Amino acid sequence: MTEDATPTVKRFEPPIGTASAPFWEATRDKRLLLPWCTACERPLWYPREVCPRCLDSAIEWREASGRGRVYAVTVDYKPQNPALAALGPYAVVLVELDEGVRLLGNMVGGDPEEVAVGMAVAVTWEPLSDGHHLVQFERAEP
């Protein structure tokens, strides 16, 4: 038996917990679901067992538009994770979805230095090794 002396660096793949399981299951079909509190009729992010506003546990999953605007952006010129080194530079964005919650992701395509606060974006998907998909964003028509 031989061992490879070079450690394999993998891209981080998010752990799936009980509260986020419906979100991740929907990503298999590239569908973006958000948890909604049915007591105060507002979405919440990140997924959890109770609403952080009213503490009600009446949470249901609803499909989101997948559209929003860049709320904040930074460009990573030299990714420290070797698995991401070939991707740099890339823009990391905090996107405020039309539903009102903010999700973090990377911008796909285009010049990362042209990404600006207020830019219209839409969800796109990066496949993960287990069949799930990771939320990413791409520029969209306003």
Query: ω before 89 within 30° of 0 (cis)?
Result: yes
* By the rule CB under 5 A, 51 interacts with Zn ion: yes
CB of 99 to Zn ion, least distance (A): 14
At 22 the three-state DSSP class reads helix
Of the candidate spans 22-30, 40-48, 80-88, 104-112, the one that interacts with Zn ion by CB under 5 A turns out to be 40-48
* By the rule CB under 5 A, 21 interacts with Zn ion: no
Token readout for 116 is: 């600006």
* By the rule CB under 5 A, 50 interacts with Zn ion: no
Site string for Zn ion, 71-100 (x = CB under 5 A): ------------------------------
By CB neighbour count within 10 A (0-12 exposed, 13-18 middle, 19+ buried), where does 136 fall? middle
* By the rule CB under 5 A, 58 interacts with Zn ion: no
Token readout for 54 is: 């009213």
Pairing state between β 42-43 and 59-63: unpaired
Residue choice 16, 39, 92, 140 for contact with Zn ion (CB under 5 A)? 39
Using only C-alpha atoms, the chain has a radius of gyration, in whole angstroms, of 17
Judged by the rule CB under 5 A, the positions of this chain that interact with Zn ion are: 37, 39-40, 51, 53-54, 56
